[in-house]
Amino acid sequence: MAQNLSIDAADERRQVQRNRSGAIAAARRHTQHVRYFKLGIIIGSAAGIGLLFAVTFFDPFSNVPSNVSIASASLNGTKITMELPRLSGFRKDGKPYQVRARSGVQDIRTPKIIELSEVEARIQVENENTVNVIAPWGVFDSGADSMKMFTQTRAETITMKSTSGYTVILRSADINLKSGDLVSPDKVIVLMPSGTIAADAVQVGDGGKIVTFNGNVTSLFKSADAESTTEAK
């Protein structure tokens, strides 16, 4: 009788060991499955990101606005450097405008913004007149059809010359290319055949029909006999 009990106890221990070994093996298989699943997620994510960068790298012009043409381009990190960028469009009244620059930089993370250097713009205005703008620096926003022109040193200026005979010298200018409106919070000088106007700031609205000078405004105009002048403040 004692011998039978000993045999039964031994069988029970062997069964427990077999169950334990099976549970350990099942746990190991589960751990491996989880590990492979996590690895698959990591590989899939890396492949997706790699594909995104590959598309950007091999097609660096995909984010360039449709109305912008360039001579050549190079990619450095997330920034595209453009040589001789040129953009064109039409104002609300149908009159054309063109902007060109020596170079431009576009970050693929903000594709609507292009930073420009040595900017030249040609904008057709009322009565078939044309305004030619020269600025050392500019930022073009294709989403808003706007151009911000600015200077970085005191020696730099922005010059706007009209075929009607006036010249405007500025330090900065925000231009809405669609409407033709302009805002400058900095000093401005307007040179005309009949005289000059200087002010601390200027606003041009209604497509160029309304000009408002702000701050310390001074003007100097030639009199009718062209020999004397009249000054106003």
Q: Is the domain 68-232 a CATH 2.60.450.10 member?
A: yes
Q: Tens digit of pLDDT for each residue in 35-53? A: 555 555 554 444 444 444 4
pLDDT digits (tens, 9 = 90+) for 172-185: 999 998 888 899 99
- pLDDT at position 172 is 95
* Residue 19 pLDDT: 56
Residue-wise over 182-214: b if at least 16 C-beta within 10 A, else e? Answer: bbbebbbebebeebbbbbebbebeebbeeeebe
Q: Which residues contact 68 (CB under 8 A, 6 or more apart)?
A: 85, 86, 87, 114, 142
3, 14, 17, 73 from 10: Cα distances, Å: 11, 6, 11, 81
- What pTM was estimated for this model as a whole? 0.68
* Region of poorest pLDDT, from 124-128, 137-141, 195-199: 124-128
Cα dihedral sign for 154, 80, 71, 144? Answer: negative
Q: Are 124 and 130 in contact (CB under 8 A)?
A: yes
Encoded amino acid at 103, one letter: S
pLDDT tens string 182-193: 999 999 999 999
Q: Mean pLDDT throughout 62-90?
A: 81
| 64 or 167, greater pLDDT | 167
At residue 133 the predicted structure's pLDDT band, cuts being 50, 70 and 90, is very high
154, two tokens: 């005191």
In this prediction, what percent of the chain has a pLDDT beyond 70? 67
Of the candidate ranges 22-31, 68-77, 111-120, 128-137, the one whose mean pLDDT is the lowest: 22-31
Q: Is pLDDT of 203 > 80?
A: yes
Mean pLDDT of the chain: 78
User: Does the pLDDT value for residue 171 go beyond 90?
Assistant: yes
- On the CB side of 1, CA atoms within 13 Å amount to 0
In the numeric block, which tokens belong to residue 7? 């045999």
